[in-house]
Amino acid sequence: MSAFSAIGEETEQDQNEFTPGLEPQPTWCPGCGDFGVLKALKGAAAELGLSPDEMMVTTGIGCSGKLNSYFNSYGFHTIHGRSLPIARAAKLANPGLTVVAAGGDGDGYGIGGNHFMHTARENHDITYIVFNNEIFGLTKGQTSPTSPMGHKSKTQPHGSAKTPLRPLSMSLNAGASYVARTAAVNPNQAKDIIVEAIQHDGFSHVDFLTQCPTWNKDARQYVPYIDINDSDDYEFDNTDRSEASEMMFETENALHEGTVLTGRYYVDEDRPSYQQEKQRIGEMPEEPLAERYFDDSYEWERTFDNFLDKHK
Amino acid sequence: MTDHELIWRIAGGSGDGIASTSQNFAKALMRAGLHVFTHRHYPSRIRGGHTYTEVRVSADPVKSRGDGYNFLLALGDSFARNPSEGAYYGNEEIKPLSENLDELNEGGVIVYDSGLLDASEIEDFDERVEENDWHVYDIDLRTIAREHGREVMRNTAGVAVTCAIADIEPDVIKSLMSDAMPDKILEPNLTVFDDAYEMVQEEYDVEAPDVSAPTGEHDEEQVLLSGSDAIAYGAIDEGCRFIAGYPMTPWTEVFTIMTQNLPELGGISEQVEDEIAAAALAIGASHAGVKAMSGSSGGGFSLMSEPLGLAEITETPLVLVEAMRAGPSTGMPTKPEQSDLEHVLYTSQGDSHRIVFAPGNAAEAYYQTRKAFQIAYEYQIPSIVLYDQKLGGELTNVPASVFDEEPNADLGSVLTEAELEDAPHDDSGKYQRFQHDTENGVSPRSLPGQKGGRYLATGNEHMPAGHISESPENRVAQMNRRMQKVDNIRAELDADGEFNTVHGDEDADLGLITFGSQQGTVEEAADVLNEKGHSVKVLGVSEMMPFPKQQVADFLDSVDEALVVEMTASAQFRGLISKELGGYGDQMSSLLKYNGNPFEPADIVEGFETALLEGEELPDNRTKFVPKVGE
């Protein structure tokens, strides 16, 4: 019998199950795009029949990091940029968990960029939602890795001399097997994309455009948006790597020219997840490791029997 | 120390098999009933560069490198750079011979490979030989090796020559070769061995050896292993089945041993993008209910600083190991030092509350690693095993029975789903995982996936169910509870009372105090001093945080003066004692060494006699006093 009975349990969930009684109302500013992520995640979790006790949501630091306070599940609000390494270890330790990591554009594409690149490369079976508002919000409006060139702020008084980072292209090149962009103003698409991302076996990256009405007033509210998968103007095959790459490049350019493109950019259902690869080479057990510590019949190996001969 | 010891030094180039040859030699002599202790000296370079390993061999237990050495086997450096005039590295080819003469004791033996080394290139070689009464054997080992095998087998030829000269039974070595070598290379190696052995017997008079190996017998079965082995085995026996790391010398040894062994134990090893990730993965795995560890050396441990603090405030069990090397920055990657002590004790923002052990030898490294896991998981706190390049790499014989212990995979203070049903929850069903008032400061945790156990872990200060809060009352309650755990751990360690050891003359009025890997060397120095008629005892401290205040204070109260011996340049350990005890400053002085080489017992004997007895300055700059003598 599993020591983790919440995992895989058949449940009917209302999305209100994911609203914590202690802090039901978020402290995000009125009109903040982060509300859109919270709503989409609650809707997706309910639609998938997940229970709060089988989900582990890890976050970094920033407005996005408050997601843990407003979403009822196991949560780990980590340190700036480090939600991914903690998330992927939890998944390796207990693969039955549904693991979602989240962070902002500074958190994920700046300070945590190295982890983002390597988690994508390894194709861990987790979902990563990046609240991309093109600015540092909680520290009051500094230029971020996705701020457009020329962006003025107290830390870039003459306008940023840097071109913005390309989150979708970077994700594809690093090795993510599911890459999408959605926007807070598009709640139905957002929920559907998060459902797909959680279902996907492998690293799924959702770049979630979240408008910041307080510190990024100059930026558009990400409307009107276009769903590239529905629009006749954008014909491409999102299972083809090079076509996906071109579409991403166009999308990243278009954002700074006033056109908001969203949708599923790359989907690779064939690539095995990291866990599968690791099991294939014999470096990960078939049974969840976390269960073993509750298995009274397990005979724990010891040095004296297993390793001393080569030292004699 | 006994009068009759073989201290054999095999010198050559990096990449020439010096390490494996010396390891086989040490193991063979251990099997023959002797006590062995090795000391490695190597550069941060893959191919070439002077390297040596010393194997000290004695009929009695040994716990340190010796004073100097008495048998040199100098092989060539296959990857030496061309001698260039003006280049700082000089003539690398001759270094296996030239670099090792200063420490060779009077009456010692030199065997050198005349196929590769030309002693006439060394200034005053013949004069020095005569002056020191050295016995020189120039033997073309390369040619012997080539005749029946390949040139690389000159190591085997050199070992055979050693056996012939130092009166070691050939079968002692040959039976080990049969176990250690694959068939394909075994036959030619055995032939090379016999040729070289017979050649010496025929051509030299070895009836009355100048330096010979002792003979002895063990009263129980022994194993040859390093501190790195012992740490890894301690972790495995505590049910650690997850490790994450990034390579860095000398921590890589523990990481490698774990990584090679974990798959067959159904465990997981992750080599990751950097040390921030490594520590974070260990936290993530532990949080999810798997016993986990990570580690690094100084530079990588700097990157672990922030995750370490996260483990403290989220009360996530975490075991880290830190293998010190000479710093600051990249420092000297392959040279030991103990100067990361303060770094490991205090790094990361806020008031540190963690456990830091510094084992004194391989057996202690095994026990203390186990203890580190037990405390980490019971008290939900980070535990760090602090060691160094010396303890990590030196091989010594340890009774096999040390490891005849039961495994312990207990996750510590974790609730089961059944227990969670009766545990306190908040209005939204979150388990109150960080309760204010608990018996020993520990509030049991739940694990993700357990029904009824959800809570929020956060690096912010938090309420009982994990919600972020800056309430002053809650802050003080949580902080006090977390700090209280450290006091309770100290009480538990005092009750165990096994790791901080006193050695020597109990009634002595002069003391030596040291920590970590220097313990064995300082104890041997005390034995020498006591044999010379002094009255000395040693306190070897292996628990750095929480500090064993009472034991150290009792020791200081029992002596008039104490010399604190450590491998740092700023007397960090003496500073720690003063800080923790708030006094005793006038009673302590320091003997420091930070030139990249570990203390030899003679350094300490000399330092002790100079500092505490005669009041004069040290004769050279190998070691240093703080404060200066007379101040």
Question: Measured between alpha carbons, how far is B96 from B228 in angstroms, rounded to an integer?
Answer: 27
Q: In this predicted structure, what is the pLDDT of residue B91? A: 84
Work out the burial of residue B282: count CB atoms within 10 Å of its CB; fewer than 13 is exposed, 13-18 middle, 19 or more buried. buried
Does residue A3 belong to any structural domain of this protein? no
Phi, psi values for residue B19, rounded to 5°: -65, -45
Q: In this predicted structure, what is the pLDDT of residue B149? A: 84
CB atoms within 10 A of CB A200: 20
What is the tens place of the pLDDT at every residue in B405-462? Answer: 999 999 999 999 999 999 999 988 899 999 998 989 999 999 999 999 999 999 999 9
Q: In what order do the strands lie in the sheet with B6-13?
A: B135-139, B104-113, B69-74, B6-13, B50-58, B35-41, B395-399, B222-226
pLDDT at B83 over 80: no
Question: Measured between alpha carbons, how far is B32 from B58 in angstroms, rounded to an integer?
Answer: 11
DSSP alpha helix (H) spans, B262-384: 275-287, 298-303, 305-314, 341-346, 362-379
Query: What is the rounded average pLDDT for all residues in chain B?
Result: 94
The answer to whether the CB atoms of B428 and A68 lie below 8 A apart is: no
The closest CB to that of B280, out of A22, A52, A82, belongs to A82
What is the tens place of the pLDDT at every residue in B13-69? Answer: 988 899 999 999 999 999 999 999 999 998 888 888 889 999 999 999 999 999 999
Sequence letter at residue B165:
I
Q: In this predicted structure, what is the pLDDT of residue B188? A: 94
Q: How far is A13 from chain B (nearest CA, A)?
A: 15
Query: What residue in A sits closest to B261 (Cα-Cα)?
Result: A307
Domains of chain B: 6-203 (3.40.920.10), 224-403 (3.40.50.970), 417-496 (no CATH), 501-626 (3.40.50.920)
Q: In this predicted structure, what is the pLDDT of residue B14? A: 87
| Residue B608 vs residues A247, B508, B617, B624: alpha-carbon distances, Å | 75, 14, 11, 12
* Partner B, chain A 89-128, Cβ-Cβ below 8 Å: 89-90, 92-94, 96-97, 114-115, 117-118
Find, among A226, A82, A144, A147, the residue nearest to B310 by Cα. Answer: A82
| Residue B39 vs residues A61, B105, B147, B401: alpha-carbon distances, Å | 47, 17, 32, 24
- Domain hosting A273: range is 15-311
pLDDT classification of B1: cutoffs 50, 70, 90: very low
Q: Quick check: A262 contacting B, CB < 8 Å?
A: no
What is the tens place of the pLDDT at every residue in B113-164? Answer: 999 999 999 999 999 999 999 999 999 999 999 998 888 899 999 999 999 9
Does residue A7 belong to any structural domain of this protein? no
Beta strand A127-132 with A74-77: parallel, antiparallel or unpaired? Answer: unpaired
Q: How far is A291 from chain B (nearest CA, A)?
A: 8
Question: Measured between alpha carbons, how far is B330 from B348 in angstroms, rounded to an integer?
Answer: 20
Q: How far is B601 from chain A (nearest CA, A)?
A: 27
Q: Quick check: B428 contacting A, CB < 8 Å?
A: yes
Q: What is the mean pLDDT of residues B171-180?
A: 95
Residue with tokens 């993510």: A176
SS3 assignment, position B307: helix
The proportion of chain A whose per-residue pLDDT surpasses 90, expressed as a percent, equals: 91
Does residue A104 belong to any structural domain of this protein? yes
Beta strands in B443-509 (DSSP E): 456-458, 501-504
The proportion of chain A whose per-residue pLDDT surpasses 70, expressed as a percent, equals: 99
The closest CB to that of A53, out of B289, B407, B451, belongs to B451
Domains contained in chain A, number: 1
Does residue A130 belong to any structural domain of this protein? yes
Q: Quick check: B73 contacting A, CB < 8 Å?
A: no
| B373-385 burial code (b ≥16 CB/10 A, e <16) | bbbbbbbbbbbbb
DSSP B445: B
Task: Supply B442's token pair.
Answer: 């520990």
pLDDT classification of B3: cutoffs 50, 70, 90: low
pLDDT classification of B627: cutoffs 50, 70, 90: confident
Find, among B351, B396, B326, the residue nearest to B26 by Cα. Answer: B396
Work out the burial of residue B422: count CB atoms within 10 Å of its CB; fewer than 13 is exposed, 13-18 middle, 19 or more buried. exposed
DSSP readout, B353-378?
--EEE--SSHHHHHHHHHHHHHHHHH
Question: Measured between alpha carbons, how far is B551 from B198 in angstroms, rounded to an integer?
Answer: 57
Q: In this predicted structure, what is the pLDDT of residue B619? A: 63
Q: In this predicted structure, what is the pLDDT of residue A290? A: 98
CB distance B377 to B409 below 8 Å: no
Contacts of B207 (CB under 8 A, 6+ apart): none
Sequence letter at residue A96:
G
What is the tens place of the pLDDT at every residue in B333-365? Answer: 999 999 999 999 999 999 999 999 999 999 999
Q: What is the mean pLDDT of residues A24-51?
A: 96
Does residue A28 belong to any structural domain of this protein? yes
The overall longest dimension of chain A from CA atoms, in Å, is: 73
A-interface mutation test, from B23, B29, B38, B268, most A Cβ less than 10 A away = B268
Does residue A4 belong to any structural domain of this protein? no
Phi, psi values for residue A75, rounded to 5°: -135, 150
Question: Measured between alpha carbons, how far is A107 from A63 in angstroms, rounded to an integer?
Answer: 10
| Greater model confidence, A116 or B429 | A116
| B390-416 burial code (b ≥16 CB/10 A, e <16) | bbbbbbbbbebebbebebebebbbbbe
What is the tens place of the pLDDT at every residue in A55-111? Answer: 999 999 999 999 999 999 999 999 999 999 999 999 999 999 999 999 999 999 999
Query: What is the rounded average pLDDT for all residues in chain A?
Result: 96
Does residue A1 belong to any structural domain of this protein? no
A101 torsion bin: left (phi>0), alpha (psi -120 to 50), beta (else): beta
pLDDT at B580 over 60: yes
Phi, psi values for residue B512, rounded to 5°: -120, 135
Q: How far is B410 from chain A (nearest CA, A)?
A: 7
Question: Measured between alpha carbons, how far is A115 from A107 in angstroms, rounded to an integer?
Answer: 10
Does residue A145 belong to any structural domain of this protein? yes
Contacts of B262 (CB under 8 A, 6+ apart): A283, B241, B242, B243, B268, B269
Question: Measured between alpha carbons, how far is B87 from B31 in angstroms, rounded to an integer?
Answer: 45
The proportion of chain B whose per-residue pLDDT surpasses 70, expressed as a percent, equals: 97
Question: Measured between alpha carbons, how far is B56 from B519 in angstroms, rounded to an integer?
Answer: 17
Q: In this predicted structure, what is the pLDDT of residue B630? A: 55
Q: In this predicted structure, what is the pLDDT of residue B2? A: 40
Q: Quick check: A11 contacting B, CB < 8 Å?
A: no
ipTM value greater than 0.90? yes
Give the CATH number for residue A120. 3.40.50.970
Task: Supply B471's token pair.
Answer: 């309430």
Q: In this predicted structure, what is the pLDDT of residue B549? A: 96
What is the tens place of the pLDDT at every residue in B249-278? Answer: 999 999 999 999 999 999 999 999 999 999
The answer to whether the CB atoms of A22 and B467 lie below 8 A apart is: yes
What is the tens place of the pLDDT at every residue in B194-248? Answer: 999 999 999 998 766 778 999 999 999 999 999 999 999 999 999 999 999 999 9
Q: Quick check: A275 contacting B, CB < 8 Å?
A: no
What is the tens place of the pLDDT at every residue in B585-620? Answer: 899 999 999 999 999 999 999 999 888 776 666 766
Beta strand B382-388 with B318-324: parallel, antiparallel or unpaired? Answer: parallel
pLDDT classification of B296: cutoffs 50, 70, 90: very high
B615 torsion bin: left (phi>0), alpha (psi -120 to 50), beta (else): left
Question: Measured between alpha carbons, how far is A66 from B12 in angstroms, rounded to an integer?
Answer: 59
Sequence letter at residue B586:
D
Question: Measured between alpha carbons, how far is B167 from B169 in angstroms, rounded to an integer?
Answer: 6
CB distance A244 to A238 below 8 Å: yes
Q: In this predicted structure, what is the pLDDT of residue A42? A: 97
DSSP B120: G
